Amino acid sequence: MQRRALEAALGELGLTLTEPQRLALERYAELLERWNTRFNLVSRKDINRLWPRHILDSLSLSPFLGHAAVAVDLGTGAGLPGVPLAIAHSTVQWHLLDRNERKIRFLELVVRELGLENVTPRVADPAVAIPVGLEGSVDLLVSRAVAAPALLTQLAAPMLKETGRLALMTGAAPPEVEVEAESTKAAGEPLQEGFQELARESVMVPGLDRTHEVTIIGRARRTTS
């Protein structure tokens, strides 16, 4: 993506990045293109629209990070949205979780190449076991159309602090995302007990012809009798 166009797109998203951050985003895009065939990172038809479809789309979550110090990207795949967000928000410690070992190996390469000291890729499936060190320690869980909110709140609950939240990209799933059958069934189910939807907003991503929906979920307020 040309520098002037990138700066304009970041401006539309309300972001101002340093030169090293912009270079890191560009290097990440190069790595995605270079290793896509080997690691099956994104749909082939998305390579020519990698920036709007994936990188800028990921960065559109920036306004919803709040004051998070520890964040989890659940079902991170190729590092989306976690890597772009980690580059733009270097004070947040990011844990990128995925069951796919090959994609985590790719993310380990990304971390080395870009020197991302605030990123830890981990092979993990919270449906089986909570990753070591994350129980009750996470301020924010993000996820990009990998499962329905009902399932994601269930998986997130043991990891989140009492004040923790979820910021979910709940628009149409990217074509390369494999949504679990059980999550599809859970699409209309209520959230995990003790959670409630706090907000739902539409975000316009530069270069895309549709808005994208973000759902914010937090713990339900306790009522006193």
Residue 181 confidence (pLDDT) above 60: no
Residue 210 confidence (pLDDT) above 90: no
Task: Work out the average pLDDT over 171-185.
Answer: 43
Q: What is the percentage of the chain residues whose pLDDT exceeds 70?
A: 90
Q: Quick one: pLDDT at residue 224? A: 53
User: pLDDT, tens digit, for every residue of 39-79?
Assistant: 989 988 888 889 999 999 999 999 999 999 999 999 999 99
Q: Quick one: pLDDT at residue 172? A: 47
Report the distance separating Cα 165 and Cα 218, nearest Å.
5
Task: Work out the average pLDDT over 151-162.
Answer: 96
Q: How far apart are the first and last CA of the chain?
A: 57
Nearest to 49 by CA among 215, 147, 176: 176
Q: Quick one: pLDDT at residue 2? A: 86
pTM of the model: 0.90
Residue 84 confidence (pLDDT) above 80: yes
Report the distance separating Cα 115 and Cα 17, nearest Å.
17
Tell me the pLDDT band of 177, cut-offs 50, 70 and 90. Answer: very low
Residue 159 confidence (pLDDT) above 80: yes
Neighbours of 129 (CB within 10 A): 9
Q: What is the percentage of the chain residues whose pLDDT exceeds 90?
A: 76
